[in-house]
Amino acid sequence: MSLLANILGFSAFGLAARVGQLGIQRRNLLDNPGGHLISMGVFGFAGYWAYQWDQRAAVLLSEKRAEIAERRQKELAQTEAAAVVALEEA
- The tally of domains found in the chain comes to 1
Q: Which long-range contacts (CB under 8 A, 24 or more apart) does 10-17 make?
A: 10/43, 10/44, 10/46, 10/47, 10/48, 10/50, 11/40, 11/41, 11/43, 11/44, 11/47, 12/40, 13/43, 14/39, 14/40, 14/41, 14/42, 14/43, 14/44, 15/39, 15/40, 15/43, 17/43
Residue 1 clears pLDDT 80, i.e. is over it:
no
- pTM as predicted: 0.74
Confidence at 88, pLDDT banded by 50, 70, 90: confident
Residue 20 lies in domain: 3-89
pLDDT of residue 39: 96
- What's the pLDDT tens digit per position in 36-81? 999 999 999 999 999 999 999 999 999 999 999 999 999 999 999 9
pLDDT of residue 31: 85
d(CA 7, CA 48): 6
